[in-house]
Structure 1
Amino acid sequence: MPSTSRPLRRLGFLTIGLFDESDPRLGHESTLGLIQLGEQLGFDSAWVRHRHLQYGISSPVALLAAATQRTRRIELGTAVIPLGWENPLRLAEDLATVDILSGGRLNPGVSVGPPMHYDRVKEALYPDTAQAEDFGYERVRRLLDFVRGEAATDFDGTEGFEVFSDRVQPHSPGLGSRLWYGGGSLGSARWAGEHGMNFLTSSVVKAEGLEGAAEPEDFADIQLSHIRAFRAAHPDGEKARVSQGLVVVPTDSATPEQRAKYEEYALKRTPRTLSPQGPARLMFAPDIVGTSAEIADRLHDHAAFREVDEVAFALPFTFDHEDYVQILTDMATKLGPELGWQPSA
């Protein structure tokens, strides 16, 4: 088996946190249970997705606040919060509060762009300012400034019986170094690096510069170019943190029925991985299903994986709780060691 250029140092997982509309508590409790299991298995981090007006976690910061009280060690992340739905100052307050409660374990990941289906939701979200909202990088920069302790107002001091601060409170000093940008383009990678963020790269990238090409470029090569562009722009250079989030499903302890389910899931999603999709020309990585030894071989052959020492493997969307327990257990006890990782105490 070829060796990786960067030994795997940190193992994490990502879940969407689906729930049934008729009993949403059960789904949220399932997600919290998986985070607790992740800590018991020695995972370094647990990440939750963000979904609005869907049957997935709509408020990851609130859910992670609950997770801070059920865990002691595992880092907790969002992958990612779409800032088009957020007020950066208010979000900065929430993030700092949860980070304080966690003892400095929060890793907020964010992204930019207009909210999904913006024409249909803008009157509910921004009824008076829909045309004036800026959904570009400036929104991230404002969040960065607030989290890092820059002034939010020109006033501080005492007014009557109340004391005011000119910056977001509470202030969590280390949180600014644990902000992540979730990006799939060269521009996003460079911007995140230039602004000293960490970089989340997933199973989706933009196939830039492929128009007119006879064959699409390889997903791994495109992702590798993003990682290198990010580090080239980052003040920390090669030490800048990058986490990769492919969909990986180990089957070592799976039942025959589970294996069949996992393979069918991956097969249905394979056609979208064969060429760039849609006007944005998005490229999707194939889901990797197999034994831990088989998955490790494929990852060691993946050019972008060889460039990172942190991963947050994404759990498939639609499986059952017991499936996720099996997958996470195999990740921690079989796949992680195959990749040279050791569980945290």
Structure 2
Amino acid sequence: MPTHERPLRKLGFLTIGLFDPADPARGHESTLRLVELGERLGFDSAWVRHRHLQYGISSPVAVLAAATQRTSRIRLGTAVIPVGWENPLRLAEDLATVDLLSGGRLNPGVSVGRPGHWEQVSGALYPDTAEAEDFGYRRVSRLLGFLRGEPATDFSGVEGIEVYSDQVQPVSPGLADRLWYGGGSLRSARWAGEQGLGLLTSNVVRAEESEDFAEIQRSQIAAFRAHHPLGARARVSQGLVVIPTDGATADQRARYHEYARARTPRTTAPQGPARVMFARDLVGTSAEIAERLYAHAAFREVDEAVFALPFTFGHEDYVQILTDIATSLAPLLGWKPAPEA
């Protein structure tokens, strides 16, 4: 087995939180049970993917609020909240509230850009202000400022029996320092570094300088750290889809390999005008996956990973995958489980 210059220090997982529209409560409960399982297995973090107008979790902050009351140690993240759907002031209030409920365990991940299917959804989302909305980096800058305690108004003090603050309330010290940015381009990587944020990389990048996924991602990590105040110590997390099969049944292994096979064509070349590239899903034994990760140029640059659970599988499939990641794959990468609380 090859060795890794940066032993894996932090291990997390990401779930989309799918549900049956006829029974959405069960899907949300499944997500919470996976977070609880992650804590028992020693994972350092659990992350929820954001989905609007789909049959996946639309309100990860609310789901993580519930998770704060069912866990005590594992860090809780969003990967990512598209802030184009959000009012930064209101989002800051929600994030600070959940962070306090968690005892300082929240790790918000955000991204910018127009909401998907903009022409169809803008009338419902911003019926009066669609053309005036700013969907660029300034929207995250506003959120970051509010989390840091910058004034949200020029009014404070007492009015009658009501007391007002000029800062977003509640205040959760340190939360702004735990904000992550989900980026897949050189421009986003540089901007996130300049803001002092963490960088969440995923299985999606823009092919700007190469058509080799690992090399593209490696160059983005280098650009991020070159612009970050902490330089080489700036936090980067990699989020590939990883499906170990050590404890899988024959039926599970067949379904996992078919899932990856069906998604492979999109990984062979840049897709669309934006030249989007996707990483291949990693399916196999833990030893096989570890070897492929050690050969991945970007993985060799990080010591944190948030492995993404695949779409459309069942709860028991996710239990097997998470168990194999924590007990078989991650130890081969140098990771040690977090101690029990």
The answer to whether 1:28 aligns with 2:28 is yes
What is the CA-CA distance between 1:157 and the residue it aligns to? 1.1
What is the CA-CA distance between 1:3 and the residue it aligns to? 1.8
AA aligned to 2:141 is R
Match of residue 213 from structure 1: none
SS of aligned partner of 1:97: helix
SS of aligned partner of 1:120: helix
- Tell me if structure 1 keeps the 8 A contact 2:77–2:109: yes
Deviations 1:235-267 (A, max 9, x none): 011111000000000000000000000000000
AA aligned to 2:279 is A
CA–CA distance in structure 1, aligned partners of residues 208 and 133 of structure 2:
27
Question: For residues 118-129 of structure 1, what are the structure 2 equivalents within 5 Å?
Answer: 118-129=118-129
Deviations 1:123-150 (A, max 9, x none): 1000000111110000000000001111
CA–CA distance in structure 2, aligned partners of residues 209 and 303 of structure 1:
15
What is the CA-CA distance between 1:209 and the residue it aligns to? 4.0
- Tell me if structure 1 keeps the 8 A contact 2:209–2:216: no
CA–CA distance in structure 2, aligned partners of residues 133 and 92 of structure 1:
18
What is the CA-CA distance between 1:80 and the residue it aligns to? 0.3
Deviations 1:58-79 (A, max 9, x none): 0000000000000000000000
AA aligned to 1:281 is R
- Determine which of 285, 289, 314 is the counterpart of 1:320: 314
Match of residue 174 from structure 2: 174
AA aligned to 2:136 is G
Question: For residues 1-345 of structure 1, what are the structure 2 equivalents within 5 Å?
Answer: 1-209=1-209, 217-345=211-339
CA–CA distance in structure 2, aligned partners of residues 67 and 180 of structure 1:
20
What is the CA-CA distance between 1:5 and the residue it aligns to? 2.1
CA–CA distance in structure 2, aligned partners of residues 155 and 228 of structure 1:
43
CA–CA distance in structure 2, aligned partners of residues 148 and 226 of structure 1:
27
CA–CA distance in structure 2, aligned partners of residues 18 and 269 of structure 1:
19
AA aligned to 1:169 is Q
Deviations 1:281-308 (A, max 9, x none): 0010000000001100000000100000
Deviations 1:198-217 (A, max 9, x none): 0000000000145xxxxxx2
Q: For structure 1, which segment, 69-78 or 151-160, has the greater mean C-alpha deviation from structure 2 after superposition? A: 151-160
Could you state the TM-score of these two structures normalised by the residue count of structure 1?
0.97
CA–CA distance in structure 2, aligned partners of residues 186 and 209 of structure 1:
9
SS of aligned partner of 2:94: helix
CA–CA distance in structure 2, aligned partners of residues 71 and 160 of structure 1:
41
SS of aligned partner of 1:312: strand
- Tell me if structure 1 keeps the 8 A contact 2:245–2:285: yes
Superposition CA RMSD, Å: 0.6
SS of aligned partner of 2:11: strand
CA–CA distance in structure 2, aligned partners of residues 300 and 74 of structure 1:
26
What is the CA-CA distance between 1:20 and the residue it aligns to? 0.4
AA aligned to 1:80 is V
CA–CA distance in structure 2, aligned partners of residues 156 and 195 of structure 1:
28
Could you state the TM-score of these two structures normalised by the residue count of structure 2?
0.99
What is the CA-CA distance between 1:82 and the residue it aligns to? 0.3
What is the CA-CA distance between 1:2 and the residue it aligns to? 2.4
Q: Could you tell me the percent identity over the aligned residues?
A: 76
Deviations 1:152-173 (A, max 9, x none): 1112111111111111111111
CA–CA distance in structure 2, aligned partners of residues 14 and 35 of structure 1:
10
CA–CA distance in structure 1, aligned partners of residues 337 and 271 of structure 2:
37
CA–CA distance in structure 1, aligned partners of residues 2 and 177 of structure 2:
33
CA–CA distance in structure 1, aligned partners of residues 186 and 15 of structure 2:
26
Q: What residue ranges of structure 1 are gaps of 5+ in the alignment?
A: 211-216
